[in-house]
Amino acid sequence: MNSLTEENYLKALFNLAIENGEVSVNELSKHLQIKMPTVTSMMKKLAEKKLVSYESYKPLRLTEKGRREAALVIRKHRLTEMFLVEKMGFGWEQVHEIAEQIEHIHSPEFFEKMDELLGFPRFDPHGSPIPDKTGKMEWLHYSKLSDCKIGDTVRLAAVTHTSEDFLKFLNARELKLGLKIKIKTIESFDGSMLVSYGKHSSEHLSGLVCERLLVEKE
């Protein structure tokens, strides 16, 4: 059984490896805010447990076993976030920190029950897919809002950042998942947009915000 610490390393490796499957010690160190020598020694330990393939000076890579165990921690995290929002009445901006702790509870029954009570949801409150019990996760064909063109009408499908500040910012503008958004203008020099959605006929979104919103083109 993996410790809380090991689970956090696995999760970080999984999330950082989305693109090419490779992660550097440096990246991981920065992401976890843990110094490089500590990361190196944990990688040796996880390699010992066959969760990571590690060779000196080579990029890190989760093994199949490591990928599965990481996905199962992420499953617990996302089910928890969904439960907190759907069954306990928390806002989507409040749940990440709590889930960060509950994801380490060791009790298959507990998460099974959550899953069941939620009706086996496929996405968490921020639009991220929930891995299944075998650790498989379907990756979706979303685009960043910042990559869309003037005139496009898109549906807000997910957010890539889950900090309380950012989500409160979206709350204040009534930007929720599922909303239809129309792009009116794009400022090419800073990537900011003027968009309309719901009752909001003209909202200005900075380039940074547009980068963090994932949309589905209709």
Which of the residues 91 through 130 are near DNA (CB under 7 A)?
none
Q: Which part of the chain contacts a copy of itself (CB under 8 A), choosing from 86-94, 129-137, 183-191, 199-207?
A: 86-94
Q: Does 173 bind DNA (CB under 7 A)?
A: no
- Which of the choices Mn ion, DNA, a copy of itself, none does residue 199 contact, using the CB cut-off of 5 to 8 A by kind? none
Q: Does 100 bind Mn ion (CB under 5 A)?
A: yes
Among 24, 59, 61, 98, binds a copy of itself (CB under 8 A): 98
- Which of the choices a copy of itself, Mn ion, DNA, none does residue 96 contact, using the CB cut-off of 5 to 8 A by kind? Mn ion
Q: Does 123 bind a copy of itself (CB under 8 A)?
A: no
Q: Does 47 bind DNA (CB under 7 A)?
A: no
Sequence-ordered list of residues with C-beta below 8 angstroms from that of 216, at least 6 positions apart, any chain = 141, 142, 143, 154, 155, 157
Q: Which is nearest to 100 in space by CA: 81, 83, 122, 115?
A: 81
Among 18, 19, 20, 33, binds DNA (CB under 7 A): 33
Q: How far is the CB of 4 from a copy of itself (least distance, A)?
A: 9
- Which of the choices Mn ion, DNA, a copy of itself, none does residue 33 contact, using the CB cut-off of 5 to 8 A by kind? DNA
By beta-carbon proximity to DNA, the closer residue of 17 and 156 is 17
Which of the residues 9 through 68 are near Mn ion (CB under 5 A)?
none
Q: Does 196 bind DNA (CB under 7 A)?
A: no
